[in-house]
Amino acid sequence: MPRLIPTLARSTLALLLAAGPVLAAPQGSAPQGATTQGAGPARATPGQGDLGPGSMGSERSAPSVGAESLKPGQPAPKPYLADALMPDTVAILPAPPASHSAAENADKVAFNATRAIKGSPRWDLATADVAEGASAILDNFACVLGTRLDQARVPALITLLERSRLDIARATRGPKVHYRRLRPFVGNEAPICVQRSQALADSFSYPSGHATQGWAYALIMASLVPEKATAILTRGRAYGESRVICGVHWLSDIEAGRTNGAAIVAALQGDAGFRADLDRARQDLAKALAAGGTAPDQTICAREQAAAKEPLL
């Protein structure tokens, strides 16, 4: 199985550049309804992947508001941060790799290498990691926590995650719309772990919304269960890397997603409402873990443990 490295030293980049042609389409290859601008990263024109004012986003552009966030008879959750307190993630994040740069070539090498993983347990985990949101995160961390948690048992935790998710989406939307970077599967027929669609092809890649959400949630969960912080953060890292395995994000999208997730959690920690909900969620979760629950599927746990130990490239 190919081995992926999360960061690339200069010597490694030199080897990658000498590795010969890669199969991924140039990042300047635009899909139908998309354009490229100058020598920078490819950018899609506004369309199905674009976000109008007030849009909550979707898989195409940012973490979406899942069905669990919109329960009949209950008001929709509100974000914690006022607009004035939202970090400027366009300013915080570096620009995506420039066209024909060593970093862009490293992204292409990572995409091509991971296509050979299709059909493996790591591919299966990446497919499972497509699910996102508050309820999905309980399943994602079940093996780490040692039990599967029912949403009904941790209402304060669900509230915390659902409200945080809205801020995460806002932090992700800005740079996605600003850079309009195309996804790696555009312009080729390489396998990906989700169904292809024009809407997905025309959407934005940088930074990864899943990686942003996964890392932000991992930071939050680690603060709630600090004795399991190492395992939680390791799972959060693998969750983001699943997007490279899946073939829907470049490696640099994932790295930017982690920075993005850390930025929004840092801002959230300054909000009194977030801190109050964090304390309530900590009590909620402690009671649920003390009471025990259904054991997670050990086959899934073994798959997650293997992914955690195996570097990407």
To the query of whether residue 275 is one of the catalytic residues in this protein, the response is: no
Q: Which of 210, 235, 237, 258 is catalytic?
A: 210
Domains identified in the chain, total number: 1
Mean pLDDT of the chain: 81
Using CA atoms, how far residue 85 sits from 88, 199, 223, in Å, is 9, 32, 22
> Is residue 182 pLDDT above 90, yes or no?
yes
**Closest residue by Cα to residue 47 from 204, 153, 159:** 204
CATH number of the domain where residue 114 is located:
1.20.144.10
Q: Which of 226-261 are b and which e, b meaning 16 or more Cβ less than 10 Å from the residue's Cβ?
A: eebbebbbbbbbbbbbbbbbbbbbbbbbbbbbbbbb
Q: Which of 202, 253, 277, 284 is catalytic?
A: 253
The answer to the question of residue 275 being in a domain is yes
The answer to the question of residue 24 being in a domain is no
| Separation between Cα atoms, residue 93 and residue 68, nearest integer Å | 30
To the query of whether residue 210 is one of the catalytic residues in this protein, the response is: yes
pLDDT digits (tens, 9 = 90+) for 157-172: 999 999 999 999 999 9
Phi, psi of 255 (to 5 degrees): -60, -40
> Is residue 70 pLDDT above 60, yes or no?
no
pLDDT digits (tens, 9 = 90+) for 249-291: 999 999 999 999 999 999 999 999 999 999 999 999 999 999 9
> Is residue 184 pLDDT above 90, yes or no?
yes
Cis peptide before 207 (omega within 30 of 0): yes
Q: Which of 43, 163, 243, 303 is catalytic?
A: 243
The answer to the question of residue 50 being in a domain is no
pLDDT of res. 68:
44
**Closest residue by Cα to residue 61 from 164, 163, 181:** 181
The answer to the question of residue 206 being in a domain is yes
To the query of whether residue 129 is one of the catalytic residues in this protein, the response is: no
pLDDT of res. 134:
85
Full residue range of the structural domain in which residue 275 is found: 105-313
Mapping DSSP onto H, E and C, the string for 227-260 reads: HHHHHHHHHHHHHHHHHHHHCCCCHHHHHHHHHH
pLDDT of res. 45:
38
Tokens of 8: 């690339």
Mean pLDDT, residues 23-34 taken together: 41
The answer to the question of residue 224 being in a domain is yes
> Is residue 109 pLDDT above 90, yes or no?
yes
Share of the chain above pLDDT 70, in %: 76
> Is residue 56 pLDDT above 70, yes or no?
no
Helix (H, G, I), strand (E, B) or coil at 99: coil
pLDDT digits (tens, 9 = 90+) for 116-149: 999 999 999 999 999 888 888 889 999 999 999 9
> Is residue 54 pLDDT above 60, yes or no?
no
The answer to the question of residue 119 being in a domain is yes
The answer to the question of residue 13 being in a domain is no
Q: Which of 173, 249, 258, 303 is catalytic?
A: 249
The answer to the question of residue 5 being in a domain is no
To the query of whether residue 253 is one of the catalytic residues in this protein, the response is: yes
